[in-house]
Amino acid sequence: MSKKALILLSGGLDSTTTLAIAKSQNFDCYALSFDYGQKQKSELVAAKRIAKLFSVSEHRIMKISLDDIGGSALTDKAIAVPKFKLSDAIPITYVPARNTVFLSYAMAWAEVLDCQNVFIGVNALDYSGYPDCRLEYINAFENMANLATKRAVEGQKLKINVPLIKLNKAQIINQGLALGVDYSLTQTCYQADENGRACGFCDACEYRKRGFIDAKIADPTKYQ
Amino acid sequence: MSKKALILLSGGLDSTTTLAIAKSQNFDCYALSFDYGQKQKSELVAAKRIAKLFSVSEHRIMKISLDDIGGSALTDKAIAVPKFKLSDAIPITYVPARNTVFLSYAMAWAEVLDCQNVFIGVNALDYSGYPDCRLEYINAFENMANLATKRAVEGQKLKINVPLIKLNKAQIINQGLALGVDYSLTQTCYQADENGRACGFCDACEYRKRGFIDAKIADPTKYQ
């Protein structure tokens, strides 16, 4: 089996930890990021920094236009990113079909790379209730992918690895620290400024902050 | 249930017939095409012409870069489109994950449109052996989609309609003619010239030609 892995890398806490985990498993790592029309672009600066730090074999940033489709506070300038509020509802920061579009491109690139392992940093505990972060979704995607591609039909199955799926933020942070991740270099905020400083009040900031508190680790995040 | 339908429209024989079928079922039709890095762009001219002819409510052409990923004779200038050859192997015109990427965008736009029906003109008889044209793939995609989106989780399921799945080319042509499709306006060839004239010898041309012969209909295709 190919020891290549393709890691979806946003430059945030979760995807960076996921890359560190893939590295620790001796995979030859390829990183894929998306300039998908997100309002804040500084996460791509973080992604580049982290890809370089982890010496990935190749880092691609694909430009796609989910903002043309809209329907999310992360891509639509007319919809503000709200302050964190505990709720069971799927928030307005949900981007329609985002992980499916991302994983579809990952599938395509993995096939050309001759790579059988895709890693994605979804987790089902401390997250925002997005349906496409749940294990049952990931399993359904993997099943679909293995009916879709030439490689899979020829017997080279694709595995979607979700090493964080059952971890909370504090556990993710502890695992990353054990692997030497410097979280000051990661960026999680939905509306960081152009210098990558976090707002401190969106859902993503809130879950991240609580993670450092629960892990009893000083929060290295730069706030605005 | 919303009477909107989103149709994946390449401008070819199959997708045009699919649009005609959705129209005949009284759907309010939206058409989605992709400028995905295919070497020949005249199919997009055909798609625009057909979308206009069928008075769709909106026609979007999304620009995406599957050519950055490569691995196919349809997107990679270094790989020539071969002449038709009967074979069980998946041909070099296969584009890695193409239908999955297309359907992912369709899922995203359908969610924003409040649309529960996506139509795609795949067929499992007269085609090139692409794995992502089979019913088991489509069913797996639909299952995944209904775990992925906010709308689906809230109970509004998505249906992927494949009205051509069990038809051969002659049957597709007969169904389209019964619905008034003018096939001289469609373009199927993998390497049509800039005026939309077909090469006459690629897989796509071969299946199309045989379809007209089997249907005993004069072939209206313009050849180079």
Express each pLDDT in B96-116 by its tens digit: 889 999 999 999 999 999 999
Select the residue of A69, A90, A107 nearest B108 (Cβ to Cβ). A69
Record: contact B136-A144, CB cut-off 8 A: no
Say whether pTM exceeds 0.90. yes
Q: How far is A98 from chain B (nearest CA, A)?
A: 8
Question: How many other C-beta atoms lie within 10 A of the C-beta of residue B194?
Answer: 9
Average pLDDT, chain B: 91
Put simply, whether A135 touches B (Cβ < 8 Å) is no
Above 90 in pLDDT, residue B13?
A: yes
Nearest CA in chain B to A143: B140
**Phi, psi at B195, each rounded to 5°:** -95, 5
- Do A25 and A163 contact (CB within 8 A), yes or no? no
Name the residue among A113, A150, A154, A120 with its Cα closest to residue A137.
A120
Rounded-to-integer distance, Cα A202 and Cα A199, Å: 7
CA dihedral A123, A191, A188, A109 (to 10 degrees): 70
Name the residue among A103, A22, A104 with its Cα closest to residue A55.
A22
Q: How far is A92 from chain B (nearest CA, A)?
A: 10
Rounded-to-integer distance, Cα A133 and Cα A120, Å: 9
Which of A33, A60, A105, A116 would you mutate first to test chain B, the one with the most B CBs within 10 A? A105
Residue A129: the pLDDT is: 78
Question: How many other C-beta atoms lie within 10 A of the C-beta of residue A89?
Answer: 10
When mean pLDDT is compared across A93-102, A175-184, B44-53, B140-149, the lowest value belongs to A93-102
Q: pLDDT digit string (tens) for B206-217?
A: 999 999 999 999
Contacts of B155 in chain A (CB under 8 A): none
Record: contact B147-A131, CB cut-off 8 A: yes
Size of interface A-B (CB pairs under 8 A): 136
3-class SS at B8?
strand
Nearest CA in chain B to A32: B69
Listed by number, the residues of chain A in 82-111 with a beta carbon closer than 8 Å to a beta carbon of chain B are 90, 94, 96-101, 104-105, 107-109, 111
Q: How far is A194 from chain B (nearest CA, A)?
A: 26
3-class SS at A147?
helix
Token reading at B222: 């313009």
User: Interhelix angle for A169-178 vs A203-214, to 10°?
Assistant: 60
Select the residue of B108, B136, B149 nearest A131 (Cβ to Cβ). B149
Segments making up each domain of chain B, as ranges: 4-215
Name the residue among A186, A74, A167 with its Cα closest to residue A122.
A167
Q: pLDDT digit string (tens) for B65-94?
A: 788 887 888 888 888 888 887 777 788 888
CATH number for the domain formed by residue range(s) B4-215? 3.40.50.620
Residue B38: the pLDDT is: 83
Nearest CA in chain A to B93: A150
Q: How far is A87 from chain B (nearest CA, A)?
A: 15
Count each helix (H run) and each strand (E run) in chain A, helices first.
8, 5
Residue B127: the pLDDT is: 66
Spell out the per-residue pLDDT of chain A, length 224, in tens: 569 999 999 999 999 999 999 999 999 999 999 998 888 888 899 999 999 999 999 999 998 878 888 788 888 888 888 888 777 778 888 888 899 999 999 999 999 999 999 999 999 876 667 899 999 999 999 999 999 998 998 899 999 999 999 999 999 999 999 999 999 999 988 889 888 899 999 888 999 999 999 999 999 999 99
Put simply, whether B132 touches A (Cβ < 8 Å) is yes
Confidence of residue B187 (pLDDT cuts 50, 70, 90): very high
Put simply, whether B1 touches A (Cβ < 8 Å) is no
CATH number for the domain formed by residue range(s) A4-214? 3.40.50.620
Rounded-to-integer distance, Cα B54 and Cα B51, Å: 5
Confidence of residue B126 (pLDDT cuts 50, 70, 90): low
